[in-house]
Amino acid sequence: MPIIKSAKKALRQSIKRKVHNVRKTKKLKNLLKEVKFLVSENKIEQAKKLLPQVYKVLDKAAKTGLIKKNTASRKKSKITKLISKSR
């Protein structure tokens, strides 16, 4: 455990950030899983409705540094391709 005051504060901050990051990554993964599940069930229209939400979460994750910009771009491309291919 930290002894110095600034180290204690840094620990508190890192714990808060970890909780925030875990929450965001879970939301992102759940959205991606849901879209993939809808596509596998041939519910393309519902998957299309979720697409803007997926884009928003991916863009915010990339903006805040949770994932890299190219990773977000790759995931968006893959999901879009999956939906358009399954028509």
CATH number at residue 73: 1.20.58.110
pLDDT of residue 86: 83
pLDDT of residue 49: 95
Question: Is residue 84 exposed (0-12), middle (13-18) or buried (19+ Cβ within 10 Å)?
Answer: exposed
Instruction: Tell me the two tokens of residue 2.
Output: 């930290």
Number of domains making up the chain: 1
| Per-residue pLDDT in tens (0 to 9) along the chain, 87 residues | 999 999 999 999 999 999 999 999 999 999 999 999 999 999 999 999 999 999 999 999 999 999 999 999 999 999 999 999 987
pLDDT of residue 23: 97
pLDDT of residue 20: 96
Q: Find the domain containing 13 and state its range.
A: 5-85
Q: Which residue, among 60, 65, 31, 59, has the nearest Cα to 47 in the 3D structure?
A: 31
C-alpha to C-alpha distance for 17 and 61, rounded to whole angstroms = 13
